[in-house]
Amino acid sequence: DQQVKQNSPSLSVQEGRISILNCDYTNSMFDYFLWYKKYPAEGPTFLISISSIKDKNEDGRFTVFLNKSAKHLSLHIVPSQPGDSAVYFCAASRSTSGTYKYIFGTGTRLKVLA
Partner 1 sequence: NAGVTQTPKFRVLKTGQSMTLLCAQDMNHEYMYWYRQDPGMGLRLIHYSVGEGTTAKGEVPDGYNVSRLKKQNFLLGLESAAPSQTSVYFCASSYPRTGVRQPQHFGDGTRLSIL
Binding site for partner 1 (CB under 8 A): 4, 6, 9, 32, 34, 36, 41-46, 49, 51, 89, 91, 93, 99-102, 104-107
Residue closer to partner 1 (CB basis): 39 or 113 = 39
Residue closer to partner 1 (CB basis): 42 or 114 = 42
**Neighbouring residues of 12: CB distance < 8 A, sequence distance ≥ 6:** 110, 111, 112, 113
Residue closer to partner 1 (CB basis): 37 or 80 = 37
What's the closest the beta carbon of residue 65 comes to partner 1, in angstroms?
18
Sign for the pseudo-dihedral over CA of 96, 48, 63, 102: negative
What's the closest the beta carbon of residue 92 comes to partner 1, in angstroms?
12
Residue closer to partner 1 (CB basis): 56 or 101 = 101
DSSP state of 72: E
What's the closest the beta carbon of residue 16 comes to partner 1, in angstroms?
28
112 within 8 A of 13, measured Cβ to Cβ: yes
